[in-house]
Amino acid sequence: MDRVCHFEVPYEDKARAEKFYQTVFGWQISDAPTDMPYSFAITTPVNEQFQPSAAGGINGGLYPRDDEGGSKSPVIVIEVESCEQRIRDVEGAGGANVMGPVEIPNMGIYAQVKDSEDNIIGLWQPLTPPAS
């Protein structure tokens, strides 16, 4: 069974969105160390590898809303063994590939798909395969 491992929230105004989530939920927001406009949203304690240390906890990210077909709503991200295989599975079940797979250096591979109801779902293939 593949698990939800992350979430992503699009924004129109970065400062406004970060302030909202920090003020309302107490999340820690920090810029990701990449060239991409992306902020990490820490919602639960993390270990030395910045992975959630509390059982059942997940962290997420915030990114600029994309008018080019990207999600207008929050996206759940599901950890998979193979993004390429899951994309084939999604297409075979009536969904579609939206973006990727794209390698995120030193982290893993990311893709986005649409389900049969037109919802965008993220797929995350970590460098280390998911635990069974």
Q: Is 123 exposed, middle or buried (0-12, 13-18, 19+ CB in 10 A)?
A: buried
Global pTM value: 0.83
Q: Please state the rounded mean pLDDT for residues 95-101.
A: 95
Gap between the Cα atoms of 9 and 7, Å rounded: 7
Give me the residue spans of the domains in the chain: 3-126
Q: Strand 28-31 and strand 75-79: pairing?
A: unpaired
Q: For 17-48, how does the pLDDT look when each residue is reduced to its tens digit (9 = 90+)?
A: 999 999 999 999 999 887 888 999 999 988 87
CB 52 within 8 A of CB 59: yes
Of 3.10.180.10, 3.40.50.20, 3.90.1150.10, 3.50.50.60, the CATH number of 3-126 is: 3.10.180.10
Q: For 45-85, how does the pLDDT look when each residue is reduced to its tens digit (9 = 90+)?
A: 888 777 788 888 899 999 998 766 667 889 999 999 999 99
